[in-house]
Amino acid sequence: MSRSSQRLAAIVPVAFLAVMVAWPLGAVLVRSFAGVPISDVVDVLSSRSFRSVLWFSTWQATASTLLTLMVGLPIAHVLARFDVPGRRWLRVLVVVPFVLPTVVVAAAFSALFDRVGVELERTITAILLAHVFFNIAVVVRIVGGFWERLDEREIEAARVLGASPLAAFRRITVPRLAPVVAGASTVVFLFSFTSFGVILLLGGPRRATLETEIRRFAVFRQEFDVAAVLALVQLVAVVALSILAARFQRRHIGGSVSAGVVSSRPLSVDTTVRRSYVTTVLAAAGVVIVAPMVTLVERSLWVGDQYGFTNFTRLTERSTLLPVSPGRALLTSVFFALGAALVASVVGVLAAWTIGSGGRLGRWLEVGSLIPLGVSAVTLGFGYIVGFTFFEFRRSVWLIPLAHAVIGLPFVLAALVPAVRSIDNRQRQVAATLGASPSVVKRRVDWPALRSPLFTGAGFAAAVSIGEFGATSFLARGDASFTAPLAVFRLLSQPGQVLRGQALALSVVIGIVVAVIATLLERRRQDAVSLL
């Protein structure tokens, strides 16, 4: 791509990121530094309530990370190193919780607690369990993927020299895995620290984090100055964690997996000890991953004292609690998802071409397009409120799918950029030599290589959009912008078996839609979520 063509292709993604990312985040920073007197900032940061919120946000994320490692590392080990039947499908099963909307995860655990007859809602235990369920995929994909490609020759040499399996593992494997585990831990901590839907539904008003406090001050109390200070603290913490995660990633990439070396064959489960270990780990994984989802389906079918589909037929009925019926809210979510996937795809293709061409512009665009991964959706949603003050656009229904496209763009680029970089430039040169115009080269050479990755990225962008709750909770205005996650949240927030039944049934439908998308994409490309 010529330099002029590169600049032309970059116009749309640069403008999109400038308006939808840089502007709202800049508005939050300006509101924090210039719009709030320093004395008020000091009062907020020194208040007892802020210290309590910051402490709870930090320690629950720490506990969630430790528990996720305890559960996820054995699963990663089994799927990476043992030849178990259906290993590919087990990997798909592990990924599904990660792509489920947070409100669906919260509904699943609410149904599980109700089924087993324990009062865990509004407790820290409920939050930690949901975070473990949600984040296991991060550990399995990051650590397990690296573990599977680990060069085993040094371990085999140590065994030949007389080292026991435990000693070889402790002295060779553990040091190699340490940076990878640290990187995965940082990502899990980041996701738990910025958790929103799980905290609101399972923690209740007494379990406040920075995310929920930003929403409370901005949406309900209209104290934008306080919300801006909290958003700034959140932004600083998220950026620091993102930098830390990137540093761990740079440390382990290529450092322990030798080039050209294929890892040894998966171990067969041919001894009693191995069978017991694998069986125990997979059984634990089944309890942690499958039990909430199965219980959610089972409880959604329970009506009164018998099973039936009444809760699902009630999705077409509108209660006074909702501006529209749950079914209408689901259609709105699907409509927004299609729009978000379309926008993210167009912006992603143009950005991927620019990034793949290299140069300073490509590098800056690549960094800018990944910013949404390091910024919480709540902060973005608040940024749209304070940033678009002088525009009616913030009240437009179209702002929601555009915000969802921002969140889905990194998924599209994660699939497209490697594909663009893998295209042999000699093919373009040959086509140009034979008289093909630049548009024909893109259509005949580039497009066939990008078609499948684009489908993958757009699918994940749609899945993320369907379940998006953080930014939408700030931007939804009226009937036309009321989405399915908002409906689940409002239905679960009120007592009553009818409302609860509708919430569970709607959660099942959302979960099925997202799970089907994730499964199809995972089958289409095993590394579709490699951006984890």
Window from 76-85, 131-140, 151-160 with minimum mean pLDDT: 151-160
Main-chain phi, psi angles of 266, to 5 degrees? -55, 145
Which of 274-288, 354-368, 491-505 is predicted with the least confidence, judged by mean pLDDT?
Answer: 354-368
Rounded Cα distance between 126 and 142, Å, is: 25
Give the model's pLDDT for residue 416: 84
User: What integer pLDDT is reported at residue 530 of this predicted model?
Assistant: 45
318, pLDDT greater than 60: yes
CA 431: distance to chain centroid?
Answer: 40
**520-530 per-position pLDDT tens digit:** 776 655 443 44
What is the rounded average pLDDT of the residues 330-351? 93
Tell me which DSSP letter residue 133 carries. H
What pLDDT shows up at residue 393? 67
pLDDT number for residue 445: 67
| Mean pLDDT of the 410-418 span | 84
Residue at token pair 């000091």:
42
Predicted confidence at residue 151, as pLDDT, reads 66
The two structure tokens encoding residue 530? 């490699």
DSSP 214-264: HHIIIIIS--HHHHHHHHHHHHHHHHHHHHHHHHHHHHHTTTSS-TTPPPP
Please report, for residues 145, 422, 452, 457, the alpha-carbon distance to residue 528 in angstroms, rounded to integers and kept in the order given: 13, 16, 11, 8
Give per-residue pLDDT as tens, 42-65.
777 888 888 888 999 999 999 999
Span 440-465, average pLDDT: 79
Q: Give the pLDDT mean for 334-346.
A: 94
Name the residue ranges covered by the structural domains of the chain. 36-299
Q: What's the mean pLDDT in 2-13?
A: 72
Q: Which fold has domain 36-299?
A: MetI-like fold (1.10.3720)
Lowest mean pLDDT segment, chosen from 249-258, 333-342, 402-411? 249-258
Closest-CA residue to 411 (of 356, 333, 352, 339): 352
Element (H, E) at 307: strand 306-307
Highest mean pLDDT among 104-118, 251-265, 497-511: 497-511
Whole-angstrom distance, CA of residue 157 vs CA of residue 173: 13
Q: Is the pLDDT of residue 97 over 70?
A: yes
Report how far residue 159's alpha carbon sits from residue 486's, in angstroms, rounded to the nearest whole number.
56
- Nearest partner of 143 among 68, 193, 67, judged by Cα: 68
- The two counts, helices (H) then strands (E), for the chain are 28, 2
99 burial level (CB within 10 Å; 0-12, 13-18, 19+): buried
On whether the CB atoms of residues 517 and 463 are closer than 8 A, the answer is yes
297 is written with which tokens?
């389906």
Q: How many Å apart are CA 201 and CA 106, to the nearest integer? A: 6
Instruction: Report the alpha-carbon distance of residue 299 to residue 310 in Å, rounded.
Output: 12
Structure tokens at 329: 């809210």
Could you tell me the pTM of the whole model? 0.81
Q: What integer best gives the mean pLDDT of the chain?
A: 81
Structure tokens at 81: 């190193």
Instruction: Name which of 470, 457, 291, 248 is nearest 377 in CA terms.
Output: 470
CA-CA distance, 187 to 197, in Å (whole number)? Answer: 18
Least reliable range by pLDDT among 22-31, 94-103, 428-437: 428-437
Per-residue pLDDT band for 249 (boundaries 50, 70, 90) equals low
| Identity of the amino acid at 111 | A
213-217, 312-316, 461-465: which range is least confident on average? 213-217
- What's the average model confidence in pLDDT over 421-437? 67
Higher pLDDT, 405 or 45: 405
Confidence class of residue 262 from pLDDT cuts 50, 70 and 90?
A: very low
pLDDT of 252 strictly over 60: no
**Which residues have C-beta within 8 Å of that of residue 410, sequence separation ≥ 6?**
369, 370, 372, 373, 531
Cα 328 to Cα 318: distance, rounded to the nearest angstrom? 9
| β partners of residue 306 | 303
Q: Is the Cα torsion angle 7, 13, 14, 19 positive or negative in sign?
A: positive
Band of residue 467 on the pLDDT scale cut at 50, 70, 90 = confident
Whole-number Å distance between alpha carbons of 171 and 299: 48
DSSP 308: -
